[in-house]
């Protein structure tokens, strides 16, 4: 990690200090007020809860340090994704989205953008490397793809998309700004579900949009205020707490994932293993170029659905849930949602358990 990022992470932990008066609380107060003292309307920092609150502002200050960009918070990852698309697209535009990415983005696009006259084109993540973006208004990508973990070169996509006149939006949920920095690679907007690793404790839905073009961000801010897609105070407060430990959690999660992925790849019960950090993985080379770590998600294929479910049932340290990025390791058979993966494919999200205890339990459950 470079010294600039180190300083920004330290700043994240102390970002409120400069504004403290003697006797103020050190930890962030949870402000639930929807209205603010307004004897007149000029010069008030806060006006009404749908426009902005001190609690969101504190989270956005942390996120801005991480992204090195203006950030707007949203009540979920999907609210952030919807804001980025609705603030950018208009009737007659074409948007390219991944056919193998987060499925709700596809459902949202087909169900709500298509009927408004937006041409929604779906292509697999790996095809972004060669696709012709002529005629696209927005190129929206997700890398590594979820759950397949295919990786495409962001800087290369950006150059070709910009040449075609398109705006580039990257869903950076699986990596977080600590592991991958799409804005530094030229992307126009980043969207992310902070529900996952940033909040980190599986108890808050949250999302954000980040960008460096003030006019584009102003439009996203207007969308939030007018659509009313505003985060709750409690969730903002929880995410603020979660972000303080994101870096240390990710360090354990990624280190454990690397160790466990290498062992799973050699395991007699495992038919196929995907982890971007394994040298013979198809995603290894592009990941090494553009990611600061290989993440905490592993794609593991077992013999069939029964073997996969049996493994998940027997392993005491894997919660059987559909999300990822939490403190608890989690596993899920993705075919149950209709993802285009084998029946025995399990997506693993490695948590912060001590590595060897987790491995011992997984190995025993596999055998
Ligand atoms: C979870 C997720 C989302 C949606 O986030 P929510 O907070 O559940 O709305 C979007 N993109 C990706 C890649 C995700 O994993």
**Rounded to the nearest whole angstrom, what is the distance from the C-alpha of residue 22 to the centroid of ligand 1?**
40
Output the ligand 1 site: residues, CB below 6 A: 76-78, 102, 142, 146, 171, 173-174, 193, 195-196, 205, 207
> How many helices (H) does the chain have, and how many strands (E)?
12, 11
> What pLDDT is stored for residue 307 in this prediction?
97
Q: Are residues 25 and 141 in the same domain?
A: yes
Last residue of a domain, one of 210, 243, 276: 243
Burial of 186 (0-12, 13-18, 19+ CB in 10 A): middle
**Rounded to the nearest whole angstrom, what is the distance from the C-alpha of residue 78 to the centroid of ligand 1?**
6
> What is the distance between the alpha carbons of residues 177 and 253, in angstroms, rounded to a whole number?
15
What average pLDDT score do residues 67-76 get? 98
Q: Residue 1: pLDDT band by 50, 70, 90 thresholds?
A: confident
Nearest atom, ligand 1, residue 323 CA = 1
Last residue of a domain, one of 196, 211, 243: 243
What is the average pLDDT value for the chain, to the nearest integer? 97
Give the residue whose CA is nearest to atom 1 of ligand 1.
Answer: 193
Q: Are residues 290 and 161 in the same domain?
A: no
Last residue of a domain, one of 197, 215, 243: 243
Q: Is the pLDDT of residue 208 over 90?
A: yes
Q: Is the pLDDT of residue 189 over 90?
A: yes
**Rounded to the nearest whole angstrom, what is the distance from the C-alpha of residue 189 to the centroid of ligand 1?**
16
**Rounded to the nearest whole angstrom, what is the distance from the C-alpha of residue 323 to the centroid of ligand 1?**
8
Domain total in the chain: 2
Q: Residue 76: pLDDT band by 50, 70, 90 thresholds?
A: very high
Residue 18 dihedral angles phi and psi, to the nearest 5°: -60, -25
> What is the distance between the alpha carbons of residues 367 and 364, in angstroms, rounded to a whole number?
5
Token pair listed for 209: 């949009």
Q: Tens digits of per-residue pLDDT, 217-261? A: 999 999 999 999 999 999 999 999 999 999 999 999 999 999 999
CATH of the domain at 25: 3.40.640.10
3-state SS assignment for residue 360: helix
Measured in residues, the chain has a length of 367
**Rounded to the nearest whole angstrom, what is the distance from the C-alpha of residue 325 to the centroid of ligand 1?**
11
Q: Are residues 115 and 152 in the same domain?
A: yes
Whole-structure pTM value: 0.97
Q: Residue 33: pLDDT band by 50, 70, 90 thresholds?
A: very high
Of all residues in the chain, what percent carry a pLDDT higher than 70? 100
Domain encompassing residue 152: 3-243
**Residue 92 — left, alpha, or beta (φ > 0 → left; ψ -120 to 50 → alpha)?**
left
> What pLDDT is stored for residue 339 in this prediction?
81
């Amino acid at each position: 990690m470079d010294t600039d990022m180190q300083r920004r992470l330290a700043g994240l932990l102390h970002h409120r200090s400069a504004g403290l008066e003697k006797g103020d609380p050190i930890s962030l107060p949870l402000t639930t007020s929807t209205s603010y003292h307004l004897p007149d309307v000029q010069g008030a920092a806060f006006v009404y809860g749908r426009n902005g609150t001190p609690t969101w502002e504190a989270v956005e200050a942390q996120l801005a340090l991480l992204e090195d960009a203006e950030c707007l918070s949203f009540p979920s990852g999907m609210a952030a994704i919807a804001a980025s698309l609705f603030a950018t697209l208009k009737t007659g535009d074409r948007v390219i989205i991944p056919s193998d990415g987060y499925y709700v983005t596809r459902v949202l696009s087909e169900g709500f953008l298509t009927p408004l006259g937006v041409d929604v084109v779906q292509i697999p993540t790996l095809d972004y490397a060669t696709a012709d973006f002529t005629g696209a208004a927005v190129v929206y990508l997700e890398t590594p793809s979820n759950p397949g973990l295919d990786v495409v070169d962001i800087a290369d996509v950006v150059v070709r998309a910009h040449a075609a006149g398109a705006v580039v939006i990257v869903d950076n949920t699986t990596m977080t700004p600590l592991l991958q920095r799409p804005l530094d690679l030229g992307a126009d907007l980043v969207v992310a579900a902070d529900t996952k690793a940033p909040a980190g404790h599986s108890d808050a839905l949250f999302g954000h949009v980040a960008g460096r073009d003030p006019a584009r961000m102003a439009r996203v801010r207007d969308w939030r205020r007018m659509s009313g897609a505003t985060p709750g105070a409690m969730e903002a407060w929880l995410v603020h707490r979660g972000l303080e430990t994101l870096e240390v959690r990710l360090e354990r999660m990624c280190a454990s994932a690397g160790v466990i992925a290498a062992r799973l790849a050699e395991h007699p019960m495992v038919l196929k293993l995907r982890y971007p950090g394994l040298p013979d993985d198809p995603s290894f080379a592009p990941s090494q170029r553009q990611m600061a770590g290989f993440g905490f998600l592993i794609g593991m294929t077992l013999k069939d659905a029964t073997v996969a479910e049996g493994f998940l049932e027997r392993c005491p340290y894997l919660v059987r849930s559909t999300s990822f990025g939490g403190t608890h390791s989690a596993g899920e058979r993705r075919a149950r949602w209709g993802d285009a993966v084998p029946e025995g494919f399990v997506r693993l999200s490695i948590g912060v358990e001590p590595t060897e205890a987790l491995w011992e339990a997984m190995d025993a459950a596999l055998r």
